[in-house]
Amino acid sequence: MTIAPTQSPSVKAPGHGESTPLREAVERLLRAAEAEVVRSESEAFARHLMPGARVAWRGAAEPRSSGHAVVELGTDPQTERVLELHTAEAGLPDSAELIDWLGRLASIRLRQLAETANLYEAISRLALAERLQRALYAIAEQAGAEHNMKDMMSALHGIVGSLMYAENFFIVLFDAQNRTVRFPYFVDSLDPDIPDPEGIRPIDAIENSLTWHVLQGGKSLMGASTELEKNLPGPRVSIGPPSDDWLGVPMKRGDDVVGALVVQSYRDDTRYTQNDRELLTYVAQHVQTALERRQAHEELERRVTTRTAALREANRVLRQQVLQRQRGERLQAALFRIAELANTSDSIENFYAAVHRVIGGLLYARNFYIALLSEDQNKLTFPYSVDELDGSREPRELGRGLTEFVLRNGKALLADREEIDRLNRDQVLSTSGARSLHWLGVPLIWNEKSMGVLAVQSYSPEHTYSARDQELLTFVSYHIANALQRKYTTESLKQAYASLERRVTERTRALALANRDLREQIAERERVERRLKYETLHDSLTGLPNRTLLLQRLEQALNHYRENPADLFAVLFIDLDRFKVINDSVGHLVGDDLLFQVGGRVRACLKTRDVVARLGGDEFAVLVEGITDPQAATHIAERIIAQLQTPFRLGAKEIFTSASIGIALPTPEYTRPEELLRDADSAMYRAKDEGRHRAAVFDDRLRREALSLLELEGDLRRALTRNEFVPFYQPIVDLEDNRVVGYEALLRWRHPERGLLPPGDFLSVAEDTGCSEAIDWQIFEQVARQVRALTRDEGFVSINVSGSHFRSPDLDQRLLDLFAEHGVPARCVRVEVTERALLENPAQVKRILENLRDHGVGIALDDFGTGYSSLSYLHQYPIETLKIDRSFVIELPSEDTDTDAHSTAVVRAIQALANSLRMQVIAEGIETESQMRALRRIGCRFGQGFLFAQPQPASKWLAAPLSLDA
């Protein structure tokens, strides 16, 4: 398109010779195809007007030229450059309009060129987009095409070649998990080393190559291969011939690199542009999608093929199973039929014929027979036989035929003509009769013995038998054998039934007689049971109810009380006072008579509905029902006590006795009758403690005491397991200089809740529960570990040994073994015993003490003066120390008074006695200076008490001085 100004400038027209160059310059300007031609033609036009004029471009970022000799002609819209006219003259008065007209012409042509360029660029982009769209459609079609992967790769190569130069092209696939690469397609005009399309190699095999950098970096690379290798990190690795231009772009699945597309050029005139790079990057993603779809399609086809083969195999197996099941159903029907025949056939012959028909339905059995041993097992009989050639089979002696062979071995035999001939040649068999081509025989076994043979045979080669037929006939033979056994035993059963009926008749008559005797025995047994029940619930001596019956009645009364708390009852626990003395003095017969009369008197004090029971020994219990208040139970108890005060006449003797009674009344807390009886017993012991011959009611104080006692018993047993018992040591000093000569180990309990407890708070309970000895041994063990540190191998430690320990004949040996185990010298230990301990078993106690004394252990008599104080102890037992009880020391008078001179005399007598027997004396319980001075005057040398020190743990005395300041 050509556009010219509609009006020329109003200047003077030049001559014909001058206007021609201007016109030509304008025409060339309007025909200019490039911006540079516009500049040159504009310069030619300007020089025609002004010979020294020059037209040049000024960049958009360059500063504008200054001066009056510069004129802007126009701007190039494509590059935004400014076309300027430079003149040597200061002004343009004559040609200003022409220069302005030239500027308009140049601006118009530059705009026309820019519009044309934009139009061409748009057409190029449209053509490129169309080619790209066709390429993408072609790539997508390749994913669903029917040809193989190789053809698809070749087609992809052609598609990429339609977009850019791609004579040399390859595809690489990358498995990031296994770190392997594969080149499924590779075309190169110069590289002879073509990789295997199916070959998988580790990615380390191409390490630091251009392809490796694309896969690892996930970014495209473009440029000459040698230049790229120089600029990339790592050592240079060249794989294949160098290329003039190389372009590789990654294929990605999300952010993961799964492969790459690479094109390369070995031609200097063929280079790749940034547009090619972007285009190949875009195409690579569609290629990746097409490859994945193609691989998924091939994987689906492979899985379909595999699944089809598996279904085909499963169908074959299923058909076999159907056939086997059909055969199994036929076999099962045959077995049911055989079992049915055994019960329904009216004769054995019909049974044989029916069995033949059943077997014929399973295999070829036109020639069939059954052979059985005779009763004496010497002959072979044939109760059933059907054969084409042998019309009948008569019984015969046992020989060496096929039937006897199966019978002897107890196993099935499947043989053809050759096998039978071989067995005959080997003299294993000696057959006779018609010769069969195939013979099959199985044993009939019952009672674990071969009793017969079932055989089928064929004379025709059309009918043969297989191992499967042998297995089938063997299986059927078991059921036939069982049916035969049942069939043959039917007659014997009938005979047995007849015999049984006769025996039943005879037995019935005998049972009638026995039944009469049995009824008499049952009646006698019922009388005995009533008697036993009475004796079970009553006391044999007094005839009163016993504990069992009492508890039953108590439970009934307690249940009635729960339903109606207003109906009170009471439980009285009665114990005769000093009954043991009566029993030991006048004998058990008189004692039993006394118990009988006591039961009668107690019974006379009660109502008919009340229950009196003897619990055992001299203990009775009474259940009183229907009382109105607790005071009524007390009145009944007092009446019983008064009744028992009356003398008992027993033969020629008159006996006096009394009773202590405990009373328990119901409360909602009671859940079992034994609890009431227990609390009444506790109340009875309270009555005995208060002086006997009285009654006591169980109250909350007794309950608390019982609970406390029970809790203390549990704490004692737990304390034993936790080693809570510890020894405390009180020093024994020389009264002259307060020097410590030894210690007495005293028992203490570190209770986790109540703190440190002395033995008086728990020792009696420990003795009652049998824990005292175990507690003492815990103390002995700890003392043995601490003796040497306390005494420093100079003094001694005393341990208290109660009388219960002397019941063990090996007490002395156990103590000596304990001292030896801990390396304790015997001279450093003293054993303190009481007078009561010496009385219980004098001979054994003496032997134990003498053995301890012979080994060097000191013996001390504790609390001397409070017991029997028999002088025989002092020379009969190996005692070397007397300990004066604190009760005498406390009553010693001070220096300025003569009161309580009796205590002084007793202590002086003990000291004199000890001096004469050369025994040591230790005074206990010294608490004041006056007591210590009084003991010094008497001549007592050693003592212990709070004046010197209170009992302390061993750790207190280990660092203490050997002398105490009194």
Higher pLDDT, 589 or 13: 589
148 pLDDT band (50/70/90 cuts)? low
Pairing of β 221-223 and β 568-577? unpaired
pLDDT value of residue 409 = 86
Residue 891 makes CB contacts below 8 A (sequence gap 6+) with 900, 902, 903
pLDDT for 61 beyond 90 = no
Given a cut of 70, whether residue 868 has pLDDT beyond it is: no
**Are the C-beta atoms of 644 and 601 separated by less than 8 Å?**
yes
Q: Which residues contact 750 (CB under 8 A, 6 or more apart)?
A: 724, 725, 726, 756
Mean predicted confidence (pLDDT) in 850-867 = 86
d(CA 82, CA 103): 11
- Burial tier of 44 (Cβ tally within 10 Å: 0-12, 13-18, 19+): middle
pLDDT at position 620 is 93
Name beta bridge partners: 57: 83
Check the CA dihedral 234-239-245-249 and report its sign: negative
Burial class for 351, CB neighbours closer than 10 Å (0-12, 13-18, 19+): buried
Residue 457's SS3 state is: strand
Strands 449-458 and 367-373, by their bridges, are antiparallel
Terminal CA-to-CA distance of the chain, rounded, Å?
142
Q: Can you tell me whether residue 957 is helix, strand or coil? A: helix
User: Phi/psi at 454 (nearest 5 deg)?
Assistant: -115, 120
* Cα-based angle 823, 829, 833 (whole degrees, multiple of 5): 140
Interval 426-478: pLDDT, tens? 888 877 777 888 899 999 887 778 889 989 999 888 888 888 888 888 888 88
Q: Which residues contact 564 (CB under 8 A, 6 or more apart)?
A: none
- Point out which residues pair with 152 in neighbouring strands: none
Instruction: Name the residue with tokens 């500027």.
Output: 103
Counting residues of the chain whose pLDDT is more than 70, the rounded percentage is: 90
The mean-pLDDT minimum among 60-69, 291-300, 439-448, 514-523 falls in 60-69
pLDDT at 94: 63
732 — pLDDT class (breaks 50, 70, 90): very high
Mean pLDDT of 143-167: 73
Alpha helices of 900-947 — where are they, by DSSP H?
901-916, 929-938
**Burial group, residue 55, by CB count within 10 angstroms (0-12, 13-18, 19+):** buried
How does 104-127 read in b/e, with b if 16+ C-beta sit within 10 Å? ebbbbbbbbbbeeeeeeeeeeeee
The span from the CA of 430 to the CA of 421, in Å, is 10
Instruction: Report whether pLDDT(914) > 90.
Output: no
410: β partners: none
User: Which of 336-350, 568-582, 937-951 comes out lowest in average pLDDT?
Assistant: 336-350
C-beta atoms surrounding 87 within 10 Å: 20
Q: What is the predicted pLDDT for the residue at 817? A: 92
Question: Residues 6 or more apart from 590 whose CB is under 8 A from it?
Answer: 582, 650, 651, 653, 655
Q: Mind spelling out the 3-state secondary structure of 817-862?
A: HHHHHCCCCHHHEEEEECHHHHHHCHHHHHHHHHHHHHCCCEEEEE
User: Residue 143's pLDDT is what?
Assistant: 57
Mean pLDDT of the 770-775 span = 84
State percent of the chain over pLDDT 90: 12
pLDDT number for residue 120:
81
Q: What's the confidence (pLDDT) of residue 15? A: 43
Rounded distance, CA 72 to CA 76, Å? 12
CA distances from 908 to 150, 290, 718, 923 (A): 132, 126, 46, 12
pLDDT higher at 248 or 47: 248
Q: Which letter does DSSP use for residue 49 in this model? A: H
Place 798 in a pLDDT band, splitting at 50, 70 and 90.
Answer: very high
- Give CA–CA dist 392/236, Å, rounded: 103
Round the average pLDDT of the chain to a whole number and report it: 82
Mean pLDDT of 4-20: 46
Mean pLDDT of 278-289: 78
pLDDT band at 589 (very low <50, low <70, confident <90, very high): confident
- Are 134 and 155 spatial neighbours (Cβ–Cβ below 8 Å)? no
pLDDT at 145 > cutoff 80 = no
Residue 370 three-state SS: strand
Lookup: tokens for 700: 């909350």
Predicted pLDDT at 792:
82
Q: With beta carbons less than 8 A apart as the criterion, state whether 774 and 720 touch.
A: yes
pLDDT tens by residue, 383-403: 888 888 887 788 888 888 888
Helix axes 467-537, 348-360, angle to 10 degrees: 120
3-state secondary structure of 587: coil
**Could you report the per-residue pLDDT of 83-101, keeping only the tens digit for each?**
888 877 655 556 778 888 8
- Beta-bridge partner residues of 704: none
State the pLDDT confidence band at 961, using cuts at 50, 70 and 90: low
**Apex 440 CA angle, 436 and 443, nearest 5:** 135
Average pLDDT (660-686) is 88
CA dihedral 161, 166, 167, 169 (to 10 degrees): -110
Helices (H) and strands (E) in the chain, counts: 27, 31
Res. 780: pLDDT tops 70: yes
How far, in Å, CA of 237 to CA of 217, rounded? 16
Q: Full-prediction pTM beyond 0.85?
A: no
> Which 8-state DSSP code applies to residue 88?
S
Task: State the Cα–Cα distance between residues 801 and 831, nearest whole angstrom.
Answer: 7
- Can you tell me the mean pLDDT for 35-61? 83
965, pLDDT greater than 70:
no
| pLDDT band at 759; cut points 50, 70, 90 | confident
Give the model's pLDDT for residue 570: 92
Tokens of 670: 């009671």
| Residue 893 or 266, more confident | 266
Produce one character per residue of 826-852: b if its CB has 16 or more CB atoms within 10 Å, e if not. Answer: bebbbbbbbbebbeeeeeebeebbebb
Report whether pLDDT(733) > 90: yes
